[in-house]
Amino acid sequence: MNTDPTATGNAGSPMAQALSDIEETEHGLEEAERRSKIEIIVNSRPREVPGQTVTFEQVVQLGFPGPQPPNTVFSMTYRNAASTPHAGELGPGGTVKVRNGTIFNVTKTVQS
């Protein structure tokens, strides 16, 4: 007797339905994850972020990846944001709600 739930004679079996449901759920989760990523622009380069809110520190890392010297200061402006105001300056510890196309300009200054 064939116990393979995907075999032709068992297509309507509870096991085959369960496998089909799992595949649909996995596809739905992948689609939801793809949609939850938002594309922002940091220093003229497109970057994806996992949620609707980003921090100053996250955007700095997207613009200038890796460790920075301790005497480095960053300044940042943004526009086309989902939050109100839609444009402005963001400082250390700050957050902003973003949408696809939010633009960030991050400037790095090394103080001597």
Q: What is the pLDDT of residue 20?
A: 77
Q: Could you give the CA distance from residue 59 to residue 20 in angstroms, rounded to a whole number?
A: 40
Q: Residue 43: which CATH number?
A: 3.10.20
Which has the closest alpha carbon to 103: 31, 40, 60? Answer: 40
89/19: higher pLDDT:
89
**Where does residue 76 rank: exposed (0-12), middle (13-18), buried (19+ CB within 10 A)?**
buried
Q: Is the pLDDT of residue 97 over 90?
A: yes
How many distinct structural domains can be found in the chain? 2
Q: Is the domain of 77 the same as that of 50?
A: yes
In which domain, by residue range, is 5 found? 1-36
Overall average pLDDT of the 57-64 stretch: 97
Whole-angstrom CA distances from 39 to 7, 27, 35, 48 are 43, 21, 10, 4
Q: Is the domain of 32 the same as that of 44?
A: no
Q: What is the pLDDT of residue 10?
A: 56
Chain segment 6-47, per-residue pLDDT in tens:
444 455 788 878 777 777 776 655 555 555 799 999 999 999
| Beta strands, E only, 6-101 | 38-42, 45-49, 53-55, 72-79, 88-89, 95-97
Q: Is the domain of 71 the same as that of 20?
A: no
